[in-house]
Amino acid sequence: MRTAKEIVEYVAELSRIKLDEDETEKMIKELGEVIEYMDILQGLDTEGVEPMSHVFPITNVMREDEVTPSFEREDILRNAPERTDETLVVPKTIE
Amino acid sequence: MTWETVIGLEVHVELATKSKIFCGCSTEFGGAPNTHCCPVCAGMPGTLPVLNKKVLEYALVAGIALGCKINRYNKFDRKNYFYPDLPKAYQISQLYLPFARDGRVEYVTRSGQKKVARIREIHMEEDAGKLIHSPYGDVSYPDFNRCGVPLIEIVSEPDFRDSEEVLGYLMWLKSTFEYLGISDVRMEEGSMRADINLSVRPGGSDRFGVRTEMKNINSFKAIERAIIDESKRQIELLEAGGRVIQETRKWDDNKGRSFSMRTKENAQDYRYFPEPNIPPILISEELLRTLAERQPELAHEKRERYIREYGLSDYDAGLLTEKKALAELFERTADLCSDPKETANWMLGDMMYLMNRDSVTAEELNIDPAQFADFVIAVRNGIINRTVAKSVFEKIFASHDFNVAKYIEENNLRQIDDAGRIRRIASEVIAENPKTVAQYKSGKTKVFAFFIGQTMRRLQGKANPSLVNEIVTELLNHAD
Ligand SMILES: [Zn+2]
């Protein structure tokens, strides 16, 4: 069983988020409350109950295969902290 | 000790829809960076993806062709991972309920062996973007045009034992999807690519060894090289007393070897959960029936029919059916001239030679079936002989706009069947070459071809060859 601190650090790592000491403490508390709530749910008897994947009883919402205009590139890129005329700029990532 | 290689494949195939899987952006290849994007595919918060009907249809068509059981209740899931080519930080995929399961593909290897590959599952998902790495600094430039292009991923069981089997299976997939018209299957444009899971084990063992995965290899040649190299690496490692580590390796085709990617174990935690934005998809019996009925005759079915109906060899039938364009040309021409055998001979011989010489692909072929059929009839009826026919075929190959009958008349290419004329010319040749005649008489019969050649040449190569043969034989045997 992983400690709350380990879980927070692991999730932060997966999300590529850097947390300082205070933030980690805060997250341990907040995430801990969520996990505690999940534990309550875990205690319920769900024998024979289908897992629900959707809240609304709707199915087959689809669109026709039609091309609609894309956005202006400027609008796609404008909110980025760093960019060129054509693309965003991200730290070099080679798998 | 002998070793056995065990390979399973995950093949990604881009579906040839006009628009993306969850938005109306174009899927066209090669647009300027980030010009085929909208808030949905660029991963802006608060957007709502809506499934493209055609994606479901194409996916089902593939599932049916691969002999799968189709799940009637379909859902999508989120696969979470953080990488800059994926602006949402998750990929919409299918984990819990892939739309197709338990399929079966019967394919033929290059050396003509029939094999079976079992399909574990096929699921629908969206493609990611492309990262362009700066050669000058520590930055990359993401192009999101491919984000949201529809894919199916076909997961096979570990049923392959060498690269020949893998290539046979991939060729089967490629021609099947081409015939179905559901993908461009162009490996060089990334519309079909394979991940290779490979392990080795002692011959006769029924347990699997530790496997490695090589991702996104996109040419047949590279796949073959990667398989040979990775088998060798694992066997050498084990024979030296080492052990194989389960890992992802990157195949570098220029260097001809693979490299460990050393990704952290954490990176494999995809934290899948149901995609809340896309309601479940129910597939009706009626839709499945309609799609199954609409399925065209596929490459492997044509291949069997060509063998059965036209008496072609398995190999020849395979060559003619591998590409849809070739099979269409063959069938239309054979239909018009009622001579499939002769049509096949010209396609497999002169046409393939010319395609190879001029680097013409099947899709680029420009042969008019009607002219090709007239040509086959002219050859069969002896209007032109085979020597002349070769040069006429080259004209048909070069231009769609070519009239066989007119060309033969205008260039006076008709076969010479006039026995008197042939006899006159052959007599001249024999009279002018007494020494060669003497050799022939003394039993050196190889010089016979000389008389045929000379006679043919003086008749511009147009004479009926069997008539020339007959007359020259007769004249030589009666010469003094
Ligand atoms: Zn879009």
User: For the residues of B81-118, what is the DSSP string, one character each?
Assistant: ---TT-TTSEEEE-SSS-SEEEEEEEEE-TTS-EEEEE
* Closest CB to A63 among B53, B131, B282: B53
How far is the CA of B239 from the CAs of B1, B209, B257, in angstroms? 9, 13, 19
CATH 1.20.120 fits A4-42, yes or no: no
- Domain(s) labelled CATH 1.10.10.410 in chain B stretch across 419-477
B217 CA from centroid of ligand 1 (Å):
27
Give how far B269 is from chain A: nearest CA, Å. Answer: 8
pLDDT band at A1 (very low <50, low <70, confident <90, very high): low
pLDDT of residue B480: 60
Query: What's the pLDDT score for residue B479?
Result: 66
What is the helix, strand, coil percentage profile of chain A, to 5?
40, 5, 55
Low-confidence residues in chain B, pLDDT < 50:
266
| Composition of chain B by helix, strand, coil, percent to 5 | 45, 20, 35
Give the one of A14, A55, A71 whose C-beta lies nearest to B269's C-beta. A14
Rounded to two decimals, the ipTM of the complex is 0.87
Q: Please tell me the predicted confidence (pLDDT) of residue A95.
A: 56
* pLDDT tens digits along B352-364: 999 999 999 998 8
Element holding B253 (H helix, E strand):
none
Residues B133, A10: C-beta atoms closer than 8 Å: no
Q: Mutating which of B141, B195, B277, B286 best tests the A interface, going by the most A Cβ atoms within 10 A?
A: B141
How distant, in Å, are the alpha carbons of A83, B42, B82 from that of B85? 15, 10, 9
- Alpha-carbon span A25 to A4, nearest angstrom: 10
pLDDT, one tens digit per residue, over A2-42 is 778 888 988 888 888 899 999 999 999 998 898 889 889 88
Q: How far apart are CA B230 and CA B217, in angstroms?
A: 13
Q: What is the pLDDT of residue B381?
A: 86
Distance B279 CA to ligand 1 centre (A): 19
Q: Quote the Cα angle for B3-B5-B8, to 5°.
A: 160
pLDDT, residue B283, reads: 95
Q: Domain map of chain A by residue range?
A: 4-42
- Which backbone phi and psi does A4 adopt, to 5 degrees? -55, -35
pTM of the model: 0.83
pLDDT digits (tens, 9 = 90+) for A41-89: 889 998 888 877 777 889 999 999 999 999 999 999 999 999 999 999 9
From chain A, pick out residues whose CB is under 8 angstroms from the CB of B276. 53-55
Residues paired with residue B257 on neighbouring β-strands, in sequence order: B252
What does DSSP assign to residue B298?
Answer: P
Q: What is the DSSP string of A25-69?
A: HHHHHHHHHHHHHHHHHHTS--TTPPPP--SS-----EE-S----
pLDDT at B266: 47
Q: Which positions ≥6 away from B32 have C-beta within 8 Å?
A: A73, A86
Give the class (CATH, top level) of B419-477.
mainly alpha
pLDDT value of residue B475: 86
| Cβ separation A86–B24 shorter than 8 A | no
Instruction: For residue range B431-465, list pLDDT tens digits in order.
Output: 888 888 888 888 887 888 888 888 888 888 888 88
Task: Please give the interface size between A and B, counted as residue pairs whose CB atoms are below 8 Å apart.
Answer: 133
Contacts of B261 in chain A (CB under 8 A): 95
Residues of A in contact with B137 (CB under 8 A): 92
pLDDT of residue B117: 97
